[in-house]
Structure 1
Protein backbone atom coordinates (compact mmCIF):
# COMPACT_ATOMS: atom_id res chain seq x y z
CA UNK A 1 0.00 0.00 0.00
CA UNK A 2 1.22 3.48 -0.82
CA UNK A 3 -0.92 5.08 1.89
CA UNK A 4 -3.58 3.87 4.32
CA UNK A 5 -6.46 4.95 2.05
CA UNK A 6 -5.01 3.12 -0.97
CA UNK A 7 -6.29 -0.46 -1.02
CA UNK A 8 -4.29 -1.53 -4.10
CA UNK A 9 -1.56 -4.14 -3.81
CA UNK A 10 1.37 -4.28 -6.21
CA UNK A 11 3.27 -7.47 -7.14
CA UNK A 12 6.31 -7.95 -9.40
CA UNK A 13 8.64 -10.76 -10.30
CA UNK A 14 11.80 -10.42 -12.42
CA UNK A 15 14.60 -12.59 -13.79
CA UNK A 16 17.97 -11.41 -15.05
CA UNK A 17 20.86 -13.09 -16.82
CA UNK A 18 24.27 -11.71 -17.75
CA UNK A 19 27.02 -13.60 -19.53
CA UNK A 20 29.38 -13.83 -22.45
CA UNK A 21 29.27 -15.71 -25.73
CA UNK A 22 32.84 -15.47 -26.98
CA UNK A 23 33.49 -11.78 -27.69
CA UNK A 24 29.87 -10.74 -27.06
CA UNK A 25 28.72 -9.62 -23.61
CA UNK A 26 24.99 -10.12 -23.01
CA UNK A 27 22.63 -8.65 -20.41
CA UNK A 28 18.97 -9.68 -20.26
CA UNK A 29 15.99 -9.07 -18.01
CA UNK A 30 12.29 -9.94 -18.00
CA UNK A 31 9.51 -9.14 -15.56
CA UNK A 32 5.84 -9.67 -14.91
CA UNK A 33 3.80 -7.41 -12.67
CA UNK A 34 0.23 -7.23 -11.52
CA UNK A 35 -1.74 -4.78 -9.42
CA UNK A 36 -4.68 -5.95 -7.36
CA UNK A 37 -7.29 -3.20 -6.99
CA UNK A 38 -10.45 -4.18 -5.10
CA UNK A 39 -12.35 -1.30 -6.73
CA UNK A 40 -11.23 -1.72 -10.37
CA UNK A 41 -10.00 -4.33 -12.84
CA UNK A 42 -6.55 -5.67 -12.04
CA UNK A 43 -3.66 -4.55 -14.26
CA UNK A 44 -0.96 -6.89 -15.55
CA UNK A 45 2.20 -6.01 -17.45
CA UNK A 46 5.13 -7.79 -19.10
CA UNK A 47 8.57 -6.27 -19.80
CA UNK A 48 11.64 -7.78 -21.49
CA UNK A 49 15.00 -6.33 -22.56
CA UNK A 50 18.36 -7.51 -23.86
CA UNK A 51 21.65 -5.78 -24.65
CA UNK A 52 24.56 -7.15 -26.66
CA UNK A 53 28.08 -5.64 -26.75
CA UNK A 54 30.77 -6.88 -29.15
CA UNK A 55 33.95 -6.24 -27.17
CA UNK A 56 36.52 -6.10 -30.02
CA UNK A 57 34.57 -3.64 -32.20
CA UNK A 58 32.46 -1.71 -29.69
CA UNK A 59 29.29 -2.41 -31.69
CA UNK A 60 26.25 -2.81 -29.47
CA UNK A 61 22.52 -3.42 -29.70
CA UNK A 62 19.72 -3.05 -27.14
CA UNK A 63 16.14 -4.23 -27.54
CA UNK A 64 13.24 -3.72 -25.18
CA UNK A 65 9.50 -4.32 -25.22
CA UNK A 66 6.71 -3.90 -22.74
CA UNK A 67 2.98 -4.36 -22.66
CA UNK A 68 0.24 -3.74 -20.19
CA UNK A 69 -2.11 -6.65 -20.83
CA UNK A 70 -5.11 -5.20 -22.70
CA UNK A 71 -3.38 -1.80 -22.74
CA UNK A 72 -0.43 0.23 -24.03
CA UNK A 73 2.49 -1.52 -25.73
CA UNK A 74 5.94 -0.33 -26.74
CA UNK A 75 9.06 -1.50 -28.55
CA UNK A 76 12.50 0.13 -28.36
CA UNK A 77 15.69 -0.58 -30.35
CA UNK A 78 19.10 1.12 -30.02
CA UNK A 79 22.22 0.37 -32.07
CA UNK A 80 25.54 1.93 -31.20
CA UNK A 81 29.28 2.01 -31.58
CA UNK A 82 31.82 2.77 -28.85
CA UNK A 83 35.29 3.57 -30.17
CA UNK A 84 38.29 5.89 -29.82
CA UNK A 85 37.76 8.25 -32.76
CA UNK A 86 39.92 10.93 -31.17
CA UNK A 87 43.04 10.78 -29.00
CA UNK A 88 41.21 12.23 -25.98
CA UNK A 89 39.11 9.18 -25.00
CA UNK A 90 36.04 7.10 -25.88
CA UNK A 91 33.45 8.27 -28.40
CA UNK A 92 29.97 6.71 -28.31
CA UNK A 93 27.58 7.03 -31.26
CA UNK A 94 24.08 5.56 -31.50
CA UNK A 95 20.69 5.61 -33.20
CA UNK A 96 17.40 4.48 -31.72
CA UNK A 97 13.76 3.88 -32.61
CA UNK A 98 10.65 3.68 -30.42
CA UNK A 99 7.07 2.73 -31.22
CA UNK A 100 4.16 2.82 -28.81
CA UNK A 101 0.50 1.89 -29.20
CA UNK A 102 -2.51 3.05 -27.17
CA UNK A 103 -0.61 5.41 -24.83
CA UNK A 104 -2.56 8.62 -25.39
CA UNK A 105 -5.90 7.09 -26.40
CA UNK A 106 -7.08 3.71 -27.66
CA UNK A 107 -5.74 3.39 -31.19
CA UNK A 108 -3.06 6.06 -30.75
CA UNK A 109 0.36 5.53 -32.30
CA UNK A 110 3.54 7.16 -31.05
CA UNK A 111 6.93 6.94 -32.73
CA UNK A 112 10.27 8.54 -32.13
CA UNK A 113 13.79 8.08 -33.36
CA UNK A 114 17.08 9.79 -32.65
CA UNK A 115 20.81 10.19 -33.15
CA UNK A 116 23.26 10.50 -30.24
CA UNK A 117 26.93 11.27 -29.63
CA UNK A 118 28.95 11.28 -26.40
CA UNK A 119 32.62 12.21 -26.14
CA UNK A 120 34.41 11.26 -22.92
CA UNK A 121 37.36 13.21 -21.52
CA UNK A 122 38.59 10.93 -18.73
CA UNK A 123 41.45 13.24 -17.65
CA UNK A 124 38.85 15.98 -16.99
CA UNK A 125 36.20 13.60 -15.58
CA UNK A 126 33.88 15.00 -18.23
CA UNK A 127 31.41 13.72 -20.84
CA UNK A 128 30.08 16.05 -23.54
CA UNK A 129 26.95 14.93 -25.36
CA UNK A 130 24.43 15.91 -28.00
CA UNK A 131 21.36 14.33 -29.49
CA UNK A 132 18.56 14.98 -31.94
CA UNK A 133 15.18 13.30 -31.59
CA UNK A 134 12.02 13.24 -33.77
CA UNK A 135 8.56 12.69 -32.21
CA UNK A 136 5.44 11.57 -34.13
CA UNK A 137 1.95 10.96 -32.71
CA UNK A 138 -1.42 10.10 -34.26
CA UNK A 139 -4.74 8.75 -33.03
CA UNK A 140 -8.29 8.11 -34.20
CA UNK A 141 -9.63 11.49 -33.07
CA UNK A 142 -10.06 14.41 -35.49
CA UNK A 143 -7.12 16.13 -33.80
CA UNK A 144 -3.96 16.23 -35.91
CA UNK A 145 -0.69 16.54 -34.01
CA UNK A 146 2.39 18.29 -35.32
CA UNK A 147 5.60 16.31 -35.41
CA UNK A 148 8.31 17.67 -33.15
CA UNK A 149 12.09 17.72 -33.06
CA UNK A 150 14.24 17.97 -29.97
CA UNK A 151 17.93 18.82 -29.64
CA UNK A 152 19.95 18.33 -26.49
CA UNK A 153 23.46 19.62 -25.81
CA UNK A 154 25.11 19.06 -22.47
CA UNK A 155 27.99 18.01 -20.31
CA UNK A 156 28.33 15.77 -17.28
CA UNK A 157 31.16 16.44 -14.86
CA UNK A 158 32.16 13.67 -12.45
CA UNK A 159 33.46 14.69 -9.03
Structure 2
Protein backbone atom coordinates (compact mmCIF):
# COMPACT_ATOMS: atom_id res chain seq x y z
CA UNK A 1 0.00 0.00 0.00
CA UNK A 2 1.29 3.47 -0.85
CA UNK A 3 0.35 6.67 0.95
CA UNK A 4 0.25 10.06 -0.75
CA UNK A 5 -0.11 13.31 1.17
CA UNK A 6 -1.20 16.41 -0.71
CA UNK A 7 -1.74 19.71 1.11
CA UNK A 8 -3.57 22.38 -0.86
CA UNK A 9 -3.86 26.17 -0.34
CA UNK A 10 -7.12 25.69 1.55
CA UNK A 11 -4.91 24.98 4.58
CA UNK A 12 -5.02 28.68 5.35
CA UNK A 13 -8.79 28.46 5.63
CA UNK A 14 -8.57 25.56 8.08
CA UNK A 15 -6.26 27.57 10.33
CA UNK A 16 -8.60 30.54 10.20
CA UNK A 17 -11.66 28.59 11.30
CA UNK A 18 -10.02 27.44 14.50
CA UNK A 19 -8.44 30.77 15.37
CA UNK A 20 -11.15 33.39 14.70
CA UNK A 21 -13.83 33.95 17.35
CA UNK A 22 -17.48 34.11 16.43
CA UNK A 23 -18.48 37.29 14.59
CA UNK A 24 -21.20 39.62 15.75
CA UNK A 25 -24.04 39.41 13.24
CA UNK A 26 -23.07 41.23 10.04
CA UNK A 27 -26.55 42.69 9.81
CA UNK A 28 -27.87 46.20 9.11
CA UNK A 29 -31.48 47.12 9.94
CA UNK A 30 -33.31 50.09 8.46
CA UNK A 31 -36.06 52.23 10.00
CA UNK A 32 -38.86 50.46 8.13
CA UNK A 33 -38.18 47.00 9.55
CA UNK A 34 -36.01 45.77 6.69
CA UNK A 35 -32.52 44.32 6.97
CA UNK A 36 -29.40 43.47 5.00
CA UNK A 37 -27.30 40.56 6.26
CA UNK A 38 -23.96 39.15 5.17
CA UNK A 39 -23.34 35.53 6.17
CA UNK A 40 -21.17 32.58 5.28
CA UNK A 41 -19.18 29.58 6.41
CA UNK A 42 -15.93 27.65 5.99
CA UNK A 43 -15.83 23.84 6.08
CA UNK A 44 -12.26 22.54 5.55
CA UNK A 45 -11.53 18.84 6.07
CA UNK A 46 -8.61 16.46 6.08
CA UNK A 47 -9.79 13.44 4.05
CA UNK A 48 -7.98 10.12 3.84
CA UNK A 49 -9.37 7.63 1.29
CA UNK A 50 -8.18 4.01 1.00
CA UNK A 51 -9.24 2.27 -2.24
CA UNK A 52 -7.80 -1.09 -1.19
CA UNK A 53 -4.41 -0.53 -2.79
CA UNK A 54 -3.49 3.11 -2.20
CA UNK A 55 -4.35 5.77 0.36
CA UNK A 56 -4.80 9.41 -0.64
CA UNK A 57 -4.78 12.07 2.10
CA UNK A 58 -5.66 15.67 1.25
CA UNK A 59 -6.83 18.93 2.77
CA UNK A 60 -9.98 20.05 0.96
CA UNK A 61 -13.28 21.89 1.19
CA UNK A 62 -16.10 19.58 2.31
CA UNK A 63 -18.78 19.14 -0.35
CA UNK A 64 -21.20 18.04 2.38
CA UNK A 65 -21.66 21.72 3.24
CA UNK A 66 -19.17 23.69 1.20
CA UNK A 67 -17.54 26.99 2.12
CA UNK A 68 -19.73 29.85 0.96
CA UNK A 69 -20.74 33.47 1.36
CA UNK A 70 -24.17 35.02 1.03
CA UNK A 71 -26.23 38.21 1.18
CA UNK A 72 -29.84 38.35 2.37
CA UNK A 73 -32.06 41.42 1.95
CA UNK A 74 -35.47 41.45 3.67
CA UNK A 75 -38.05 44.23 3.40
CA UNK A 76 -41.64 44.16 4.73
CA UNK A 77 -44.43 45.61 2.57
CA UNK A 78 -47.57 45.85 4.68
CA UNK A 79 -48.46 42.28 5.60
CA UNK A 80 -46.04 40.89 2.99
CA UNK A 81 -42.31 40.27 3.15
CA UNK A 82 -39.97 40.62 0.18
CA UNK A 83 -36.62 38.85 0.23
CA UNK A 84 -33.63 38.79 -2.10
CA UNK A 85 -30.91 36.22 -1.51
CA UNK A 86 -27.55 35.77 -3.19
CA UNK A 87 -25.29 32.89 -2.17
CA UNK A 88 -22.24 31.32 -3.76
CA UNK A 89 -19.67 28.68 -2.97
CA UNK A 90 -16.08 29.91 -2.92
CA UNK A 91 -14.77 27.46 -5.49
CA UNK A 92 -12.12 25.96 -3.20
CA UNK A 93 -10.61 22.54 -4.06
CA UNK A 94 -13.40 20.19 -3.03
CA UNK A 95 -13.99 16.63 -1.90
CA UNK A 96 -16.44 16.40 -4.83
CA UNK A 97 -13.60 16.65 -7.39
CA UNK A 98 -10.81 14.67 -5.66
CA UNK A 99 -9.86 11.16 -6.77
CA UNK A 100 -6.82 8.97 -7.44
CA UNK A 101 -5.88 11.14 -10.45
CA UNK A 102 -5.76 14.44 -8.55
CA UNK A 103 -8.05 17.30 -7.56
CA UNK A 104 -9.77 19.91 -9.70
CA UNK A 105 -8.18 23.23 -8.75
CA UNK A 106 -9.78 25.39 -11.47
CA UNK A 107 -11.36 27.67 -8.88
CA UNK A 108 -14.75 29.41 -8.96
CA UNK A 109 -17.19 28.75 -11.81
CA UNK A 110 -20.80 29.77 -12.31
CA UNK A 111 -21.90 26.32 -11.09
CA UNK A 112 -20.80 27.48 -7.61
CA UNK A 113 -23.73 29.95 -7.55
CA UNK A 114 -26.28 28.56 -5.13
CA UNK A 115 -28.94 31.28 -4.90
CA UNK A 116 -30.00 34.33 -6.88
CA UNK A 117 -33.47 34.21 -5.47
CA UNK A 118 -36.44 36.59 -5.11
CA UNK A 119 -39.46 35.76 -2.95
CA UNK A 120 -42.66 37.31 -1.65
CA UNK A 121 -44.26 35.88 1.48
CA UNK A 122 -47.64 36.55 3.08
CA UNK A 123 -50.70 34.88 4.54
CA UNK A 124 -51.24 33.16 1.19
CA UNK A 125 -47.86 31.37 1.38
CA UNK A 126 -44.63 32.14 -0.45
CA UNK A 127 -43.80 32.65 -4.12
CA UNK A 128 -40.16 32.33 -5.22
CA UNK A 129 -38.36 32.90 -8.52
CA UNK A 130 -34.73 32.62 -9.57
CA UNK A 131 -31.87 30.25 -8.85
CA UNK A 132 -32.70 28.34 -5.67
CA UNK A 133 -34.07 25.17 -4.12
CA UNK A 134 -36.60 23.03 -5.91
CA UNK A 135 -39.52 21.74 -3.83
CA UNK A 136 -37.82 18.35 -3.33
CA UNK A 137 -34.53 19.84 -2.06
CA UNK A 138 -34.03 18.36 1.42
CA UNK A 139 -36.88 15.85 1.20
CA UNK A 140 -34.47 12.89 1.49
CA UNK A 141 -32.48 14.57 4.26
CA UNK A 142 -34.92 15.30 7.09
CA UNK A 143 -32.68 14.82 10.12
CA UNK A 144 -33.07 16.05 13.71
CA UNK A 145 -29.82 14.52 15.00
CA UNK A 146 -26.94 16.81 15.90
CA UNK A 147 -24.46 14.42 14.27
CA UNK A 148 -26.25 15.18 10.98
CA UNK A 149 -23.61 17.88 10.49
CA UNK A 150 -21.33 15.04 9.37
CA UNK A 151 -23.48 11.92 8.96
CA UNK A 152 -26.67 11.90 6.89
CA UNK A 153 -28.44 10.07 4.06
CA UNK A 154 -26.13 11.23 1.25
CA UNK A 155 -23.09 9.04 1.83
CA UNK A 156 -20.73 10.21 -0.95
CA UNK A 157 -19.59 13.69 0.10
CA UNK A 158 -16.07 12.77 1.17
CA UNK A 159 -15.04 10.41 -1.68
CA UNK A 160 -17.72 10.48 -4.39
CA UNK A 161 -15.25 11.05 -7.24
CA UNK A 162 -12.90 8.20 -6.26
CA UNK A 163 -12.88 5.16 -8.54
CA UNK A 164 -13.43 1.66 -7.22
CA UNK A 165 -10.41 -0.58 -7.66
CA UNK A 166 -10.80 -4.09 -8.98
CA UNK A 167 -9.42 -7.15 -7.20
CA UNK A 168 -6.69 -7.22 -9.88
CA UNK A 169 -5.47 -3.80 -8.73
CA UNK A 170 -6.74 -1.92 -11.79
CA UNK A 171 -8.94 1.16 -11.34
CA UNK A 172 -12.43 0.81 -12.79
CA UNK A 173 -14.42 3.61 -14.43
CA UNK A 174 -17.08 3.40 -11.67
CA UNK A 175 -16.90 5.99 -8.90
CA UNK A 176 -18.29 5.84 -5.39
CA UNK A 177 -20.75 8.52 -6.49
CA UNK A 178 -21.97 6.33 -9.34
CA UNK A 179 -22.82 3.53 -6.91
CA UNK A 180 -25.23 5.38 -4.61
CA UNK A 181 -27.39 8.47 -4.16
CA UNK A 182 -30.30 9.61 -2.02
CA UNK A 183 -32.05 11.26 -5.04
CA UNK A 184 -32.51 14.47 -3.04
CA UNK A 185 -33.72 17.47 -5.03
CA UNK A 186 -31.32 20.19 -6.15
CA UNK A 187 -31.22 23.88 -6.98
CA UNK A 188 -32.39 25.19 -10.36
CA UNK A 189 -33.53 28.37 -12.01
CA UNK A 190 -37.16 27.89 -10.99
CA UNK A 191 -40.51 29.25 -9.99
CA UNK A 192 -41.86 27.82 -6.74
CA UNK A 193 -44.86 28.10 -4.46
CA UNK A 194 -44.96 27.11 -0.76
CA UNK A 195 -48.21 26.88 1.15
CA UNK A 196 -48.65 28.38 4.62
CA UNK A 197 -48.08 26.10 7.57
CA UNK A 198 -51.21 24.19 8.64
CA UNK A 199 -50.69 22.62 12.08
CA UNK A 200 -47.17 21.56 11.12
CA UNK A 201 -48.01 20.53 7.53
CA UNK A 202 -46.81 22.41 4.47
CA UNK A 203 -46.46 21.69 0.76
CA UNK A 204 -44.47 23.08 -2.16
CA UNK A 205 -44.44 22.79 -5.94
CA UNK A 206 -41.80 23.97 -8.43
CA UNK A 207 -40.75 23.99 -12.07
CA UNK A 208 -37.24 24.80 -13.23
CA UNK A 209 -34.28 24.35 -15.55
CA UNK A 210 -30.55 24.02 -14.97
CA UNK A 211 -29.69 27.57 -16.03
CA UNK A 212 -26.10 27.27 -14.79
CA UNK A 213 -25.28 24.53 -17.31
CA UNK A 214 -25.05 25.14 -21.07
CA UNK A 215 -25.35 21.40 -21.76
CA UNK A 216 -28.55 20.69 -19.76
CA UNK A 217 -31.83 21.79 -21.36
CA UNK A 218 -33.99 19.30 -19.46
CA UNK A 219 -37.16 20.35 -17.63
CA UNK A 220 -37.46 19.71 -13.89
CA UNK A 221 -40.65 19.75 -11.84
CA UNK A 222 -41.54 18.42 -8.42
CA UNK A 223 -43.92 18.50 -5.49
CA UNK A 224 -43.20 17.99 -1.78
CA UNK A 225 -45.06 17.59 1.51
CA UNK A 226 -43.47 18.28 4.90
CA UNK A 227 -44.48 17.92 8.52
CA UNK A 228 -42.80 18.95 11.75
CA UNK A 229 -43.93 19.16 15.37
CA UNK A 230 -42.77 19.09 18.98
CA UNK A 231 -45.23 17.21 21.11
CA UNK A 232 -46.22 17.93 24.73
CA UNK A 233 -43.90 15.20 26.04
CA UNK A 234 -40.91 16.88 24.39
CA UNK A 235 -40.60 14.45 21.48
CA UNK A 236 -39.65 16.16 18.21
CA UNK A 237 -40.73 14.67 14.89
CA UNK A 238 -40.20 15.72 11.28
CA UNK A 239 -40.91 14.05 7.94
CA UNK A 240 -40.77 14.87 4.23
CA UNK A 241 -42.03 13.27 1.04
CA UNK A 242 -41.42 14.34 -2.56
CA UNK A 243 -42.00 13.32 -6.15
CA UNK A 244 -39.66 14.78 -8.77
CA UNK A 245 -39.51 14.44 -12.56
CA UNK A 246 -36.67 15.22 -14.96
CA UNK A 247 -37.95 15.41 -18.54
CA UNK A 248 -35.03 14.88 -20.93
CA UNK A 249 -34.83 17.48 -23.69
CA UNK A 250 -33.70 14.92 -26.30
CA UNK A 251 -37.04 13.12 -26.03
CA UNK A 252 -35.48 9.92 -24.68
CA UNK A 253 -37.82 9.74 -21.69
CA UNK A 254 -38.11 10.82 -18.08
CA UNK A 255 -36.44 10.22 -14.73
CA UNK A 256 -38.97 9.98 -11.90
CA UNK A 257 -37.82 10.05 -8.29
CA UNK A 258 -39.91 9.21 -5.24
CA UNK A 259 -38.18 10.05 -1.96
CA UNK A 260 -39.04 10.34 1.71
CA UNK A 261 -37.37 10.74 5.09
CA UNK A 262 -38.34 11.02 8.74
CA UNK A 263 -36.58 11.71 12.02
CA UNK A 264 -37.53 11.60 15.68
CA UNK A 265 -35.58 13.16 18.57
CA UNK A 266 -36.39 12.01 22.11
CA UNK A 267 -35.91 14.11 25.27
CA UNK A 268 -33.25 11.60 26.35
CA UNK A 269 -31.02 12.71 23.45
CA UNK A 270 -31.50 9.58 21.35
CA UNK A 271 -32.71 10.00 17.78
CA UNK A 272 -33.68 7.74 14.92
CA UNK A 273 -33.61 8.79 11.26
CA UNK A 274 -34.65 6.91 8.14
CA UNK A 275 -34.85 7.65 4.42
CA UNK A 276 -35.76 5.75 1.28
CA UNK A 277 -36.10 6.41 -2.40
CA UNK A 278 -36.64 4.88 -5.82
CA UNK A 279 -35.93 6.07 -9.36
CA UNK A 280 -38.00 5.10 -12.38
CA UNK A 281 -36.15 5.66 -15.67
CA UNK A 282 -38.28 5.47 -18.80
CA UNK A 283 -35.24 5.72 -21.10
CA UNK A 284 -34.37 2.50 -22.90
CA UNK A 285 -31.70 0.43 -21.17
CA UNK A 286 -31.57 2.54 -17.98
CA UNK A 287 -31.72 0.78 -14.62
CA UNK A 288 -34.18 1.66 -11.84
CA UNK A 289 -32.16 2.05 -8.62
CA UNK A 290 -33.57 2.22 -5.12
CA UNK A 291 -32.23 2.47 -1.56
CA UNK A 292 -33.03 2.63 2.11
CA UNK A 293 -31.08 4.38 4.86
CA UNK A 294 -31.19 4.40 8.66
CA UNK A 295 -29.29 6.08 11.48
CA UNK A 296 -29.16 5.82 15.27
CA UNK A 297 -27.71 8.81 17.11
CA UNK A 298 -27.31 10.34 20.56
CA UNK A 299 -26.55 13.88 21.72
CA UNK A 300 -25.78 15.36 25.08
CA UNK A 301 -23.91 18.07 26.98
CA UNK A 302 -20.84 16.04 27.90
CA UNK A 303 -18.29 18.88 27.97
CA UNK A 304 -18.46 22.58 28.75
CA UNK A 305 -17.51 23.59 25.17
CA UNK A 306 -20.94 22.69 23.79
CA UNK A 307 -23.18 19.87 22.65
CA UNK A 308 -21.75 16.50 21.53
CA UNK A 309 -23.41 14.25 18.96
CA UNK A 310 -22.50 10.68 18.00
CA UNK A 311 -24.13 8.34 15.51
CA UNK A 312 -23.89 5.29 13.28
CA UNK A 313 -25.69 4.78 9.97
CA UNK A 314 -26.27 2.23 7.20
CA UNK A 315 -27.15 2.58 3.50
CA UNK A 316 -28.40 -0.25 1.28
CA UNK A 317 -28.88 0.36 -2.44
CA UNK A 318 -29.62 -1.72 -5.53
CA UNK A 319 -29.18 -1.31 -9.32
CA UNK A 320 -27.35 2.02 -9.18
CA UNK A 321 -24.69 1.41 -11.81
CA UNK A 322 -26.10 -1.66 -13.53
CA UNK A 323 -29.14 -3.86 -13.08
CA UNK A 324 -28.29 -6.35 -10.32
CA UNK A 325 -25.51 -4.31 -8.71
CA UNK A 326 -25.50 -3.85 -4.93
CA UNK A 327 -24.20 -1.04 -2.72
CA UNK A 328 -23.68 -1.24 1.02
CA UNK A 329 -22.29 1.61 3.09
CA UNK A 330 -21.96 2.31 6.79
CA UNK A 331 -20.48 5.16 8.76
CA UNK A 332 -19.82 6.38 12.27
CA UNK A 333 -19.18 9.94 13.40
CA UNK A 334 -18.85 12.31 16.33
CA UNK A 335 -19.60 16.05 16.19
CA UNK A 336 -18.45 18.43 18.92
CA UNK A 337 -19.87 21.93 19.22
CA UNK A 338 -17.41 24.66 20.25
CA UNK A 339 -19.66 27.55 21.25
CA UNK A 340 -16.84 30.04 21.84
CA UNK A 341 -15.93 30.11 18.14
CA UNK A 342 -19.31 29.09 16.64
CA UNK A 343 -17.77 25.92 15.21
CA UNK A 344 -18.70 22.25 14.86
CA UNK A 345 -15.64 19.96 14.83
CA UNK A 346 -16.21 16.42 13.56
CA UNK A 347 -14.57 13.08 12.90
CA UNK A 348 -16.15 10.48 10.59
CA UNK A 349 -15.39 7.05 9.16
CA UNK A 350 -17.20 5.80 6.03
CA UNK A 351 -17.05 2.35 4.39
CA UNK A 352 -18.39 1.62 0.87
CA UNK A 353 -18.84 -1.91 -0.49
CA UNK A 354 -19.98 -2.18 -4.13
CA UNK A 355 -20.71 -5.44 -5.96
CA UNK A 356 -21.30 -5.69 -9.70
CA UNK A 357 -20.39 -8.26 -12.33
CA UNK A 358 -16.79 -8.13 -11.06
CA UNK A 359 -15.23 -7.92 -7.60
CA UNK A 360 -14.17 -4.51 -6.25
CA UNK A 361 -12.13 -3.60 -3.21
CA UNK A 362 -13.92 -1.72 -0.46
CA UNK A 363 -13.47 2.05 -0.39
CA UNK A 364 -12.86 3.55 3.06
CA UNK A 365 -12.61 7.18 4.13
CA UNK A 366 -11.65 9.06 7.29
CA UNK A 367 -12.73 12.69 7.61
CA UNK A 368 -11.56 15.27 10.16
CA UNK A 369 -13.18 18.67 9.74
CA UNK A 370 -14.50 21.89 11.25
CA UNK A 371 -17.58 23.85 10.14
CA UNK A 372 -17.35 27.53 11.14
CA UNK A 373 -20.21 29.92 10.43
CA UNK A 374 -20.45 33.70 10.54
Q: What is the TM-score when the length of structure 2 is the normalising length? A: 0.39
CA apart distance, 1:5: 8.1
Give me the whole-angstrom Cα distance separating, in 1, the residues matched to 2:321 and 2:246. Answer: 21
Deviations 1:119-141 (A, max 9, x none): 111022222110111110001x2
**1:103 aligned counterpart, secondary structure:** coil
Aligned partners of 1:150, 1:118: CA distance in 2, in Å? 17
Residue 294 (structure 2) aligns with = 77
1:29 aligns with 2:240: yes
1:149 pairs, out of 360, 364, 367, with 364
Answer 1 or 2: which has greater strand percent: 1
Of stretches 112-121 and 83-92 in structure 1, the one that deviates more from structure 2 is 83-92
Matched, 1:60 2:271: yes
Q: Could you report, residue by residue, the CA deviation over 1:96-143 in whole angstroms, capped at 9, with x for unpaired residues?
A: 10111111111111111011001111022222110111110001x2x2
Q: Secondary structure at the match of 2:273?
A: strand
1:129 aligns with 2:346: yes
- Structure 2 residue aligned with 1:43: 255
Partner of 2:302, secondary structure, is coil
- TM-score, scaled relative to structure 1: 0.88
What are the superposed Cα offsets for residues 14-64 of structure 1, whole Å, 9 maximum, x if unpaired? Answer: 10011123321111110112233462122211000101111x211111111
> 1:102 corresponds to which residue?
319
Q: Cα offset for 1:6?
A: 5.9
Q: Which residue of 2 aligns with 1:11?
A: 221
Give, in whole Å, the separation in 2 of the partners of 1:74 and 1:44: 14
Paired residue secondary structure (2:276): strand
Query: Aligned Cα RMSD in Å?
Result: 1.9
Q: Which has the higher helix share?
A: 2
Moved more, 32-41 or 57-66: 32-41
- Larger Rg over CA atoms: 2
* Counterparts of 1:6 and 1:58, CA distance in 2: 44
**DSSP-derived class of the 1:69 partner:** strand
Question: What residue ranges of structure 2 are gaps of 5+ in the alignment?
Answer: 1-208, 282-287
- Any idea what SS the aligned residue of 1:12 has? strand
Q: Which runs of 5+ in 1 are unaligned?
A: none
